[in-house]
Structure 1
Amino acid sequence: MAVLVTGGAGYIGSHMVLELLDAGEQVVVLDNLSSGFRWAVPPEAALVVGDVGDQELVTRIVEEHGIDSIMHFAARIVVPESVTDPLGYYFNNTVKTRSLVETAVRTGIRNFVFSSTAAVYGNADAPLLAEDRPLSPINPYGRSKLMSEWMLQDAHAAHSLRYAILRYFNVAGADPKGRSGQSTPHATHLIKVAAQAALGQRPHLDVFGTDYETPDGTCIRDYVQVNDLARAHLAALKSLREGGDCAVLNCGYGHGASVLEVVDVVKRVSGVDFEVRLGPRRPGDPARLVAQVDRIQGLGWQPQHDNLAEIVDQALRWEHILAARKAA
């Protein structure tokens, strides 16, 4: 049996493909390459260029490759962009996920692992966010993902489809072996942007909001290394295959760092005192998002890269790899 990874040519999806291949799985990637890269898919995985909303195509992939599980990463993910283009986000993240879930049910897929987000929690009022707390997303991105969570839960209740929903906090870093990393040219991930500023690829770094109710006034986030995140998905898939319960699982480390703390680490690791410009808040950004991680640890998952300086070093090294790729 094989695993279908949607969005497997993108940042998180490509790391998931690597983890699956390292675990001996057969992998098929479905990606429209709108933000992913053909070169990010290893030759050991089959790549199909197409859209997750194309039900005929997905059906053909399932039948031809003997797919038993789907890991769904394909989505648009930029919070401010979701505020200015909400209908685009509901179409890409919700409508197309509904089509994919329907195809999964029709073709008898047993396991569905879904890439969700801590944005479903909205403005947090607790030091750690547990999976069963009330959900109140404050931006269309979070709402688009929450709607998809509901669809999966309802599809499970009505059909045999079993799910694991993984809510990411802030994903960062790159594969320690240099095989993949965050490659989107205009990415908004803080650590990537700060790494680019340190390497002179950006003239400065913008910090959005210094008046939050946090110790230094900037947003606090739980930064989880991307390979650790992929291994959390692997643990969730293993649990489903072994008959474990459907689950909603936070993916983070259980502690956070502020924007200014991250900037300090990037400056220290890179040795570059790049320019930082302080500006007003962006729409849709909550002040603090830090995960409670008991559930995912209960599946046997333990982080291997819970070190902010290590994560920053991975990001910096990946930028050098990307620069060499572009120069070649």
Structure 2
Amino acid sequence: MSTWLLTGGAGYIGAHVLRALRAAGHDAVVLDDLSSGLAERLPDDVHLVRTSLLDPDLPAMLTGLTSRRRLDGVVHLAAKKSVPESVAVPLHYYEENVGGTVALLRAATAAGIGRVLYSSSAAVYGETGADPVGEDFPTLPTSPYGETKLAGEWAVRRHAEAAGLRWCALRYFNVAGAASAALADRGATNLLPLVARAAESGEPLSVFGDDWPTPDGTCLRDYVHVEDLAEAHVAAAQVLLDDDAPSPGVLNVGRNEPTSVLEVVGAVERVRGRPVPYRVAPRRPGDPARVVADATRIADVLGWRASRGIDQMVM
């Protein structure tokens, strides 16, 4: 059994990754400052270290932790993730996402942790055009959030090469769904929770632009179920544990299936049997029109493929 340090493990995605790791026979120590994560998402027997990655005592904390138990690697999910907020306060995002990643890499390496699995984002691609994007597609992010995730990738890759670490970066496309109501996404920016709230409350959903160059005028995204995403982390962790295998590097996590905002609205109406009111609002700064994954490489490298569709995400 391996044990992983899981940063951001009390968050929406982190709690699902924790659940999947444990189901596969691994263990984890969660590091989370609970600024957006929820302690109640964690099982009672999980060790929670409540601290920020920017805490100057982080190196001593991790060294003390590894003196008491073996940590085989880091799964690094902790980050700020709102595109509009990143446009409003870019320096905060650089400090938290890039500064936090650099601080974690230094502290983990000093503590003798030799594997890093980094949570990246399709936001690193920016505007992509009509074709699915592979990992070699140019990275031209259109928001400070995307820039910070790309800079984090660079830091992980370069540090891994210099320090002899094994590494992987998973570029998430749009994550949705939940394993249970207790683990559901409670964020205020992701589309599916907002659509569900509109269906329940009757308050109109804001659809940011209906004049995008897409079939119905709304943005197209590649949605992946959070449980599929969590299983991708387990597959990556298992490859990182095999010291004879090459480091996986950068991998897309998606389904290669574009879904528009209005198609998500339609799926919620179909599955929940109630209308979703919406109003068209101006486009948001930093939003690209279309981002859809070419998920060929992750299937080849990790043997992972998404198995859940959009209807399962909106249940």
TM-score by length of 2: 0.95
Give the aligned residue type for 1:280.
P
Pick the aligned partner of 1:132 from 129, 136, 150: 136
Partner of 1:317: none
Matched, 1:168 2:172: yes
Aligned residue number for residue 239 of structure 2 = 239
Structure 1 residue ranges, 4+ long, deviating more than 6 angstroms after superposition: none
Aligned pairs (5 A) from 1:202-217: 203-217=203-217
**In the alignment, what sits opposite 2:61?**
57
Aligned to 2:107: 103
1:199 aligns with 2:200: yes
Which residue number in structure 2 is paired with residue 183 of structure 1?
Answer: 186
| 3-state SS of 1:222 partner | strand
Confirm or deny that 1:301 pairs with 2:304: yes
> Which whole-Å CA distance do the structure 2 matches of 1:167 and 1:36 have between them?
21
Alignment of 1:43-82 (within 5 A): 43-53=44-54, 54-82=58-86
Identify the match of residue 92 of structure 1 among 86, 96, 116: 96
User: Are the equivalent residues in 2 in contact too, given 1:105–1:160 (CA < 8 A)?
Assistant: no
Alpha-carbon separation, structure 1, partners of 2:154 and 2:143: 17
Q: Aligned to 2:186, what secondary structure does the other structure show?
A: coil
User: 1:180, 1:271 → 2: CA distance?
Assistant: 23
In 1, Cα distance between the equivalents of 2:284 and 2:181? 32
**Corresponding residue of 2:262:** 260
| CA distance in structure 1 between the partners assigned to 2:276 and 2:72 by the alignment | 48
Task: Letter of the 2:234 partner, please give it.
Answer: L
My pick for the range that moved more, 60-69 or 111-120, is: 60-69
Q: Which residue of 2 aligns with 1:154?
A: 158
List runs of 5+ in structure 1 lacking aligned partners: 314-328
Contact 2:207 2:280 in 1 (8 A): yes
- The one-letter amino acid paired with 2:107 is T
**Preserved contact between residue 113 and residue 164 of structure 1 (Cα < 8 Å):** yes
Q: Is the 8 A contact 2:59 2:110 kept in 1?
A: no
Match of 2:106, SS state, is helix
Report matched runs for 1:259-298 at 5 Å: 259-298=261-300
Correspondence 1:115-126 to 2 at 5 A = 115-126=119-130
For the aligned residue pairs, the C-alpha RMSD in angstroms reads: 1.3
Task: Tell me the matched-pair count.
Answer: 308
| Structure 1 position 180, deviation (Å) | 1.5
Q: Report SS of the residue matched to 1:231.
A: helix
Deviation of 1:61 (Å): 2.5
1:57 CA displacement: 2.0
What secondary structure does 1:196 align onto? Answer: helix
Deviation at 1:58, TM superposition (A): 2.7
How far off its partner does 1:63 sit? Answer: 2.8
Map Cα deviations across residues 117-166 of structure 1 (whole Å, 9 max, x no partner): 00000111241000011111111000011111111111122111111000
Q: List runs of 5+ in structure 2 lacking aligned partners.
A: none
Residue 118 of structure 2: SS of its match in structure 1?
strand
Distance 2:67 2:194 in 1: 41
Please tell me whether the aligned partners of residues 5 and 29 of structure 2 are also in contact (alpha carbons under 8 angstroms): yes
Give me the whole-angstrom Cα distance separating, in 2, the residues matched to 1:281 and 1:223: 20
- Equivalent residues of 1:21, 1:44 under 8 A apart: no
Q: For the Cα contact (< 8 Å) 1:251–1:293, is it kept in 2?
A: yes
- 1:106 deviation in Å? 1.7
2:251 alignment partner in structure 1: 249
Q: 1:60 Cα deviation (Å)? A: 2.3
The offset of 1:39, in angstroms, is: 0.4
Native 8 Å contact 2:186 2:193 kept in 1: no
What per-residue deviation string (whole Å, max 9, x for no partner) do you get for residues 234-271 of structure 1?
A: 11111111132221000000111000111111111111
1:220 aligns with 2:233: no
Distance apart, 1:178 and its partner CA = 4.6
Q: CA deviation at 1:45?
A: 1.7
1:57-112: per-residue Cα shift (whole Å, max 9, x none)? Answer: 23322332311110001000000000000000001100011010111222221210
Greater Cα offset, 296-305 or 166-175: 296-305
Secondary structure, in 3 states, of the residue corresponding to 1:114?
strand
